[in-house]
A and B are shown apart, each in its own frame.
Chain A
Amino acid sequence: MNSLKIICPNNKRLLKGLSGYRLAVRVKDPAQAVEAAALVRDSGNDLVRVIVDSEKPFDQLTFLEDQKPLPLAVITPSMGRFRHLAKGLNLLREMNLCLYLPCGSPENSTALKILSSLGVKGCALIGRGPTDWEALTDLMTYALLERVPHAAIEPFAFIAAHYDPLSTLNWKEVYFDDPAQFLHMDSKGRIALTAAELGQRRFIARSIDEIGGAADVPAIRERLQEWRGYFVKNHPCASCNGWKVCLGTFSPPPPKENGCAGFFREMIEVIRQYRAQKAGGE
């Protein structure tokens, strides 16, 4: 089985044509999740995730008992009203679900914090539109240093677990956007490196058959080395002390002290504290 994971639409004909892959399937509504998952598995593929990409607020989505075993990534623009969610909290807690919210507003950061405190895993979508760095910093600090039990908040938990100061970290796999891990497929089977490029119809292959391992595909290799361009150009990001975690994700514009640079620098500091806490057995 290919180590690359493919994210594909919930397309019956497409999924039936794929076999022996590790697939994440994209749906618009949780109601489609069970059927899509069954389709993936029935075609002889491993199900990596069901990605629910909805334009509705989270509170408008309906989750049912039969979705409990499914690995769900739910992307919504906002949480919606908490009182609508309150009655379904027990079910949400029992589900293998992660809620993705964009972090352009303090409200979404607060929402992730609230849901985390109630045991629902969340993920801050950083870099999708404007970012409220202040609120994001609070959220990150809460996610990593708060001692009261709470569910993980990504990408902070992932970064804290994988950050190696003597290396660089590409944590976009949390967003399914790391070409070393994920490729994106459209309904015709064409392959793009990221979800954004899929939307822009920038394909690197006409079908998955053209793709071997990540190391065999020049486009993937080049993408993975793209960071070197910042050094060639002497871009300000290359001299930023948040670089090892950011890798220029937010450029242009150049890193700002009260923006991405300050955030990632603080994050590295928080990770040090987080690890010190863990090492201390706390």
Chain B
Amino acid sequence: MPTVIFKPTESCNARCLYCDVVHKKRSGPRTMPLKTLELFFWRLNEFLAAHPKEQMELVWHGGEPLLLGPDYFRQALRFQQGHCPETADRIRHSIQSNLTLFSRELAEVLRQLGVDSIGTSYEPIPNIRGLGLKRDWADYNRRFMKGLRLVEEEGFNWGVIYVVTKPALKNPLKIFHFLSNLSPKGSFMFNPVIIYGHRTEHLRITAREYTDFLGTIFPVWWRNREEYPQIEPFFSLTQNLLEKSRSLMCSDSGRCAHSHLNLLPDGSLSHCGRSADWDLLNYGTIFEKTFDQALKDPQRKILLKRNVLLPRRECKGCRFWDICHGGCPLDAWSATGSFLHKTEWCDLKKDFIEIYFEPTVHPGPAEKKDSPPAQQKGLGHHRPAAFLHTRSDNQQKSQKSEDGLWINPIGGLGDTLMISGVLKQVLENYPSRRFNLVERTKYRAILEGHPAIEKIGSPAPGAEFLSTNYWDCEAYRLPGGRAYQALASLFGLEQPVEERLYVPWAYEDDPLLMRSIPWKGRNILLSQSSDSPRKQMGIRRWEALVERLADKETGIFQVGRMPEDYIRGAYSLLGLTNPRQLISLVRHFDAVVTSDNFIMHAAHLHGVPAVVLWGPTDHRIYGYADQVHLSAKRKCEFSDGCIGPGRGDIYQTVCPRGPEHCLETIPLKAISTALRKILY
């Protein structure tokens, strides 16, 4: 729906410090003459008649539009009735006003125009907003509250824009509670102040300050959000990031190119309020241009070009592109002199999401301690780059544990090898970063001594966690998503990263074991086992494989834990190694045949060639490029594999299809052929 930001007057009864409208130099009239107003409605009708399925949103803006008085609005209503008899029902009026002049008379005519909601703005901090040349704050407040009361009594909805300035940074929660108390079931929106000149420099805030302002409020809002008003940008972000519905402001939509128009009192058309302020994207006047022409003005093409260029350049790989689109093109122009850049507020948005939003809405495993590990695979707790940023301000420090950030890994030892690799890369990128590891025997064996691990122990109550649950991470779930990359994203590494595994200790060979192994000319390691029976090929087929491979020059060895099924014909090393020894042992073999398990990762760690047998899981997600992947054909109801997000409950169960289990269908010949190619 096209939107006309209609500024019938640029006069204002207020002198808000950060507003430029009354200081603007202009040659035309401050208030739109009635003749122009009439033409405007004529043009509206012309457009809507030509586009029977279109509607037009008309936002009365200013200046202060209520300065026009009820008669002006009545005249507008008459023009609409006169010129738009067939199309008036497709004109949606709304209004942005400071409410200080609101009256019952105005309420009546606004209602007749179809206005049911009024946008306003307010500032409880003294001497920022105010009436008249003296910027009378007290009088402004009195009149605003009186207007607000009338608005409510007359049955209008209302929402308030709060402009965040330097003084507001002192106590964000005070501002939040003030606005929530004033409008308990309404809505309000925070916007950072835009400074037009040096005289208001003391109000300026940095992007980081604005991020922290929002970040102080967000957890309070989030915790009991059903009890607070609809607050932007929190509400939209929640919808966009969690509920996957798109609710984007014009600045983030990337779609303003063909939808926005700004109309000034002199009849001149521009793209939007900002473009008019900065004398950019002027589309002529309504005297010579139809709305159709203005909405198809060739100057708009650059905005479309921006949508194509940014994702290839500055926004390449940004996971927030869909909800940001590089931000407002006018902001980009303001900062860089070109529309073809992203805005400085992009980083703000990203920072806010990563530092405050995601850590708040995706609590770490400590808060989910009652969930069984198998189910955690289907839960989303990821805390991305959040903690990789330097925390310089006290406010943020106070929100974090003094004890540093804890990791409580989940998943198998293969996942731990990936975590170890990612941690190493975190350290390479952010040399000062350290984490604490929750004391758990399984993971200590692999991660103890890691340079990115500060200590291993028990976290204190209230400790901060970084989740390693990549299964619910967007980078994992999207087509082409890879486990390692998703894990890296949780630690804030920019993708793609090189998929390097790492162990923080010297390889350990048990001399006794090494001496007892009957090495041959070629040595093949078999690893049949997995934490999930569904990822295992049946033992009989392994035995058949051994029969195929066995010869005098080829040693075939089986590794795993003591209780696992023995593959007859293989030399059993079951139960003879601890995890470190097992990882170390892999490097002595010429080839590995393995399920999707820990040994698959260990083979990649050492660069030992491997043939990996894939059933319900996908080598494109977990496998490595240097390996041979043999994927079974899945003929069951799970065309994408029975193991995955949301199906944690079957992870440790046996496939009910028995001999038709997908892994039973991989031809043994394919395995032996692949091995021979590796070995000979």
Contacts and interface: CB of A to CB of B under 8 A. Distances in A.
Interface string B159-181: 00000000000000111011011
Q: Which of B125, B126, B181, B229 has the most CB of A within 10 A?
A: B181
A231 B182 contact: yes
A240 interface: yes
Interface in B123-171: 124-126, 138, 141-142, 145, 148-149
Contacts of B145: 228, 231-232
Contact of A167 (B126, B173, B182, B185): B185
B99 to A, nearest CB: 13
B6 interface: no
B149 A231 contact: no
A272 B228 CA distance: 14
Interface string A110-153: 00000000000000000000000000000000000000000000
Interface string A22-44: 00000000000000000000000
Nearest to B220: A241
Interface string A159-180: 0000001111000000000000
B184 A168 contact: yes
A239 B178 contact: yes
B227 interface: yes
Contact of A228 (B138, B149, B177, B228): B149
Contacts, number: 53
A258 interface: no
Interface centre among B175, B177, B228 (most CB of A within 10 A): B177
A167 B227 CA distance: 9
B226 interface: yes
B394 interface: no
A165 B228 contact: yes
A274 interface: no
Interface in A229-262: 231-234, 238-241, 243-244
Contacts of B124: 231, 234, 238-239
Contacts of B175: 239
Given A234-B126, A239-B178, A166 B185 contact: yes
A167 B184 contact: yes
Interface centre among A239, A243, A244 (most CB of B within 10 A): A239
Interface string B178-200: 10111011000000000000000
Contact of B227 (A166, A225, A228, A240): A166
Given A225-B149, A240-B177, A243-B177, A234 B228 contact: no
B226 A165 contact: yes
A238 B177 CA distance: 8
A239 B177 contact: yes
A260 B449 CA distance: 52
B157 to A, nearest CB: 13
Interface in A2-22: none
A38 B55 CA distance: 67
B184 A232 contact: no
B224 interface: yes
A238 B224 contact: no
Contacts of B180: 241
Contact of A241 (B141, B142, B177): B177
Contacts of B149: 225, 228
A225 B152 CA distance: 11
Given A165-B227, A243-B177, 17 more contacts: A165-B226, A165-B228, A166-B184, A166-B227, A167-B184, A167-B185, A228-B148, A228-B149, A234-B124, A234-B125, A234-B141, A234-B178, A238-B178, A239-B174, A241-B180, A244-B181, A272-B224
20 contacts: A165-B226, A225-B149, A228-B145, A228-B148, A228-B149, A231-B141, A231-B178, A231-B181, A232-B138, A232-B142, A232-B145, A233-B141, A234-B125, A238-B181, A239-B124, A239-B177, A239-B178, A239-B181, A240-B177, A244-B181
Interface of B: 124-126, 138, 141-142, 145, 148-149, 173-175, 177-178, 180-182, 184-185, 224, 226-229
